[in-house]
Chain A
Amino acid sequence: MALSKEQIARRIARELQDGYYVNLGIGIPTLVANFIPEGISVMLQSENGLLGMGPFPFEGEEDADLINAGKQTVTTLPGSAIFDSATSFGMIRAGKVDLTVLGAMEVADNGDIANWKIPGKLIKGMGGAMDLVAAAKNIIVAMQHTDKYGNSKLLPECSLPLTGIACVKKVVTDLGYFEVTPDGFHCVERAPGVSVDEIKSKTAGRLVIADDCPEMSF
């Protein structure tokens, strides 16, 4: 069985370490916040100027002045800090954020990522994604392995306009957990019940996968 979005988020949450500052993108990455392992303290950074992002407010307590980068109403927590956008990207650029999780349309086997534009179709803009991928030490992409037509999103080369070059370190898809290495995508774990052959057939980029590649467990 391929992983659900929640399972992708749960697998990524295992990468969190105590004391991490983490920026979570919109979509599956946001779900990672629901699976932070017990006994671990992490602080979520929202690039519109909030460190220590709390849960959604109780109904009736939402405040138009307190939102996250997805424009959702949120709350602060004890220890939170609020700052301007230049400071926010200052801490990102200076490498203070330990982990960035974001979605992607395409990832290349050298770590290039495309996630902001489909020429002639989607023109919403890159927001903070280019700043994040240019600076972050540790970037994990959370996405589906194939697009809605069944085409691989793990490619030898991105076909869409790039967001950043050679920056993605890990990719977690519904089919498995991959590290980006000089030899291409190294499949470290496969989704429970997904065969090595299925992963091979659905990965267009260079792939390194052992015949006895272990299954992920939940």
Chain B
Amino acid sequence: MAINKQVANATEALRDLTDGMTVMLGGFGLCGIPEMCINELVRKGTKELTCISNNAGVDDFGLGLLLHQKQIRKMIASYVGENAEFERQLLSGELEVDLIPQGTLATRCLIAGYGIPFVPLLAGVGTEVAEGKQTVERNGKTYLLEDAFEADFAIVKAWKGDTAGNLIYKDTARNFNPMMAMAGTITVAEVEELVEPGELDPNRIHTPGIYVHRIFQGENYEKRIEQRTVRSRN
């Protein structure tokens, strides 16, 4: 019988997520963010968090909700526009921010899940991103040595999952979720549809269940659109 990773809800999934922890959160902009778990962190009021996420949400949705309550001590991200409260906290010094290249962010999650401690990357060479970083030379090129991320919790959002923890993502809501799922000391997955083992085709699994510790089905996803762009039918 498959190992059962199912928990009731976000409250149970995050029961031991406490002040001062490092938390990775999947999503690109507001696409594919773990809405249920973010709401639970807001409810719990967990403080002094270090958050690793590509973006920081908008003022009233996503990680912006945590920023608003000053629950984040340090933000590690690649792009944080679209968030006035973020900018205010950064300029006032309330919030510590580490901006890193997007591909570097993805790869530092990926290698954590692959058991690789560090990786040589070109992005940021010759820029302020390189300051204080160890470098290595190969074939006349200089690379920055970038460390695997360590996170107490990785929180991801998937489209479908089974109780064994296997995950399937939908469209570009995949983004950072698969790498972060592999990188958490404890990985929590919230899914739109949770099914029994055997219902998902093993050939179609994006994240193997071994990486996922807790899984639950969310409800009433808002799935807010950041830039609604359409074309006319005429």
On A, residues with C-beta under 8 Å from B are 46-50, 55-74, 76, 82-86, 88-89, 92-93, 112, 123-131, 134-135, 161-165
> Can you report 23 A-B residue pairs in the complex whose CB atoms are below 8 A from each other?
A62-B225, A64-B224, A65-B32, A71-B28, A82-B174, A84-B178, A85-B179, A86-B107, A86-B109, A89-B102, A89-B107, A93-B122, A124-B79, A124-B80, A125-B78, A125-B80, A125-B81, A126-B129, A127-B78, A127-B79, A131-B101, A131-B123, A165-B126
Contact present for A134 and B125 (CB under 8 Å)? yes
A155 to chain B, nearest CB (A): 16
Determine whether B201 belongs to the interface, using a CB cutoff of 8 Å to chain A. no
A82 to B90: give the CA distance in the assembly, Å.
Answer: 34
Contact present for B174 and A83 (CB under 8 Å)? yes
Contact present for B170 and A128 (CB under 8 Å)? no
Determine whether B106 belongs to the interface, using a CB cutoff of 8 Å to chain A. yes
The residue on A at minimum CB distance from B233 is A58
A114 to B103: give the CA distance in the assembly, Å.
Answer: 18
Asked, given contacts A71-B29, A88-B106, A128-B78, whether A82 binds B227 with beta carbons under 8 Å apart, the answer is no
The residue on A at minimum CB distance from B109 is A86
Report, nearest first, the 4 A-B pairs whose CB atoms are least far apart. Answer: A89-B103, A131-B103, A165-B126, A124-B81
- For chain B, the bracket of interface size reads 35 or more
The residue on B at minimum CB distance from A85 is B106
A134 to B106: give the CA distance in the assembly, Å.
Answer: 16
Q: Please, which residues of chain A bring their CB within 8 A of the CB of B232?
A: 58-59
The residue on B at minimum CB distance from A67 is B31
Q: Please, which residues of chain A bring their CB within 8 A of the CB of B174?
A: 49, 82-84
Contact present for B231 and A93 (CB under 8 Å)? no
Contact present for A134 and B123 (CB under 8 Å)? yes
Residues 182-228 (chain B) with a chain A CB within 8 angstroms:
206, 223-228
| Total A-B residue contacts, Cβ distance less than 8 Å | 178
The residue on B at minimum CB distance from A166 is B126
Q: Please, which residues of chain A bring their CB within 8 A of the CB of B173?
A: 64-65
Determine whether B30 belongs to the interface, using a CB cutoff of 8 Å to chain A. yes
Q: Please, which residues of chain A bring their CB within 8 A of the CB of B206?
A: 84
Contact present for B223 and A64 (CB under 8 Å)? yes
Q: Please, which residues of chain A bring their CB within 8 A of the CB of B54?
A: 85
A165 to B30: give the CA distance in the assembly, Å.
Answer: 32
Contact present for A130 and B124 (CB under 8 Å)? yes
Contact present for A67 and B28 (CB under 8 Å)? yes
Determine whether B229 belongs to the interface, using a CB cutoff of 8 Å to chain A. yes
A127 to chain B, nearest CB (A): 4
Asked, given contacts A85-B176, A89-B106, A165-B126, whether A67 binds B81 with beta carbons under 8 Å apart, the answer is no
Determine whether B172 belongs to the interface, using a CB cutoff of 8 Å to chain A. yes
A86 to chain B, nearest CB (A): 4
Determine whether B6 belongs to the interface, using a CB cutoff of 8 Å to chain A. no
The residue on A at minimum CB distance from B159 is A65
Contact present for B229 and A162 (CB under 8 Å)? no
**One of A64, A72, A125, A130 near B229 (C-beta < 8 A):** A72
Contact present for A59 and B171 (CB under 8 Å)? no
Interface string of B93-127 (1 = CB under 8 A from A): 00001010111111101100000000001111111
A119 to chain B, nearest CB (A): 10
B202 to chain A, nearest CB (A): 19
A77 to chain B, nearest CB (A): 13
A55 to B225: give the CA distance in the assembly, Å.
Answer: 17
Q: Please, which residues of chain B bring their CB within 8 A of the CB of A66?
A: 171-172
A162 to B169: give the CA distance in the assembly, Å.
Answer: 35
